[in-house]
Amino acid sequence: MLWYNGAPMAVLPHLSPVLTLAVDPVPWARSQMAFTLAVHIILVPLGVAWAFMALVANWKGIRRNDEDALRLARHWSRYMAVTFAVGAVTGTVLTFEFGLLWPNFMEKFGGAFGVPFAVEGLFFFTEAVFIAIYIYGWRRLPPKVHFWTGVPIVISGIGGTASVVAANAWMNEPGGFTLRNGKIVDVDFVGVFFNKAMPLEVLHMLVAAYLVAGFLIASVYAVAMLRGRRDRYHRLGFLIPFTIAAIAAPVQMVVGDQLARWVYNNEPTKFAAIEMVPRTARDVPETLFGHLTESGEVKGGIPLPGVASILSDPSTGTRTQIQGLAAFPKNARPTNHEVDVVHWAWDVMVGIGSGLFLLSAWFAVVWWRRRDIPRTPWFLRAAAVAGVASIAALESGWIVTEVGRQPWIARGFMRVSQAATGNEGVWVTFLVIVALYLGVAVTLILVLRQMARRFRENDPHAEQLLPYTPRARRRASVDRSAP
């Protein structure tokens, strides 16, 4: 038996994929970007929507002299500050990764692609400043003045998210620039930021942020209520975010349908992957799950006859034609494995979204009839699961967006393989990032749990920290009237 570098030659063919992976930076760069994005995206809804929920509680506390609502708003503002800090770190890492992992892409398109990130930076700093003012102002500002210092947080969160999603939309629909001799010579700010894919993608993500944050925060209070904490504080903590999520759920169904139809008309390759359509045809079934074989045939799954064509264009129904994967060159479409990933992610996203919509409808009907949440424990159990389920739907949606665009990093202009770094040591940074992020995640969870425990222990006297609670007002009035 012959040996090479300490390994038997007969074993090398079996090790060749591993050896190739170890030296090829592209899969490692993709894995690192995917991992950091998957972690960061969990924090985005909290950064966008938690401030709004805190303001709802704050306003309720001011208008109705509600001490429980004010306590809730104060606690949420502190949780929000912690998650914002961690989100700032993970978001900054993502920004640097564009230059470190995709230097060829940034060298060629950075002048256009960087525009939305410049706008996002302005929103980020505005949000950071007003978060500090809002938290600091609990003990120092008049009630209404303090409330209004929280409004820029909400606006900045929406603007920052819209800016980042605009950059991602630009990768799907590059525009707003002139390319001459392989270099960008003219950049149209408006054309880059408000590219063709931007409006619906931004709206879809913003609604998703409120939906995910609502169900995620409400799930924590649902678990607490299942454990017997049925006081008004926990009831408010459940009702405010869950109501917001329940409103967002049907809106997201409509926005998602419009976005899917836009993809059908403008990104036919991605749509073929979403619906797993191997060849151009009419009367295309909606296949639930299944997979694409090496020969390009759909195997397994549950076909719903004609449904994919009907949903793509209801005006023509089953006569609607959907372009298949075979209509596009192999080097300009996702691989069969990537098609499976996109299709399954789509099914998971739509399936969970439908379940959350039904849960919201259950809540809405019972609330309309009795002005109360459903009394069965099964509702709270479903609400507790909804938080994790909504995150799974969010992650699945980003998988559809990113993997469905393959093999392009800028669709029609540059492939991922052309954009990636040539540094073969990327796998080292990937392992380091995974270790660091796991440490940050564990620390964040422990900090939030410790904060919650401290709030529960100190809450009987916590209103003393709030200068405009009803009890504080009565105390101040007594002090002024004293001789």
Is 44 part of any domain?
Answer: yes
SS (H, E, C) 312-325: HCCCCHHHCEECCH
What pLDDT is recorded for position 363?
A: 97
Inter-residue contact 300 to 347 (CB < 8 Å): no
Contact (CB, 8 A) for 188 and 239 = no
Is pLDDT of 5 > 90? no
Percent of the chain's residues with pLDDT above 70: 90
Q: Check residue 374 and give its pLDDT.
A: 92
- Domain housing 451: 40-197+417-474
Quick count: other Cβ atoms within 10 Å of Cβ 344?
Answer: 19
Distance CA(24)–CA(19), nearest Å, equals 9
What is the chain's mean pLDDT, rounded? 88
350 in a domain, yes or no? no
Q: What is the CA radius of gyration of the chain?
A: 25
53-67, 109-123, 171-185, 407-421: the lowest-pLDDT one: 171-185
CA proximity to 252, closest of 362, 56, 403, 397: 397
Residue 96 pLDDT grade (very low, low, confident, very high; cuts 50, 70, 90):
confident
45 assigned to some structural domain: yes
3-class DSSP state for residue 424?
coil
Give the lowest-confidence range in 230-244, 290-304, 388-402, 459-473. Answer: 459-473
Angle formed by the axes of helices 336-370 and 268-275, nearest 10°: 80
Least confident residue range of 2-16, 217-231, 428-442: 2-16
Choose the weakest-confidence range: 89-98, 194-203, 335-344, 412-421: 89-98
Report pLDDT for 21: 47
142 inside domain: yes
* Residue 471: pLDDT band with limits 50, 70, 90: low
pLDDT for residue 478 is more than 80: no
What tokens were used for 228? 């017997």
**Domain membership flag for residue 264:** no
- Given pLDDT bands bounded at 50, 70 and 90, which one contains residue 469? low
Distance CA(340)–CA(378), nearest Å, equals 34
Check whether 46 has a pLDDT greater than 50: yes
CA 460 to each of CA 68, 71, 447, 473, 478: distance values in angstroms, whole numbers, following the listed order: 11, 10, 21, 17, 21
CA distance 271 to 162: 23
In the predicted structure, residue 95 carries a pLDDT above the cut 90: no
Tokens in use for 393?
């739907």
Summarised one tens digit per residue, pLDDT across range 66-93 is 899 999 999 999 999 999 999 888 888 8
Say if 175 falls within a structural domain. Answer: yes
Amino acid found at 312? S
Residue spans of beta strands (DSSP E) within 344-389 = none
Asked if residues 12 and 4 have their Cβ atoms less than 8 Å apart, the reply is yes
For residue range 173-227, list pLDDT tens digits in order: 999 999 888 788 889 999 999 999 999 999 999 999 999 999 999 999 999 999 9
Check residue 459 and give its pLDDT. 58
Number of structural domains (the chain) is: 1
The DSSP 8-state label assigned to residue 11 in this structure reads T
CA distance 384 to 169: 33
Could you tell me where the DSSP H helices lie in 404-425?
Answer: 416-419
pLDDT at 23: 65
Structural domain contains residue 468: yes
Which residue shows structure tokens 């470190």?
Answer: 100
Residue type, 232: R
**Whole-model pTM?**
0.89
106 in any annotated domain? yes
Res 466: pLDDT: 56
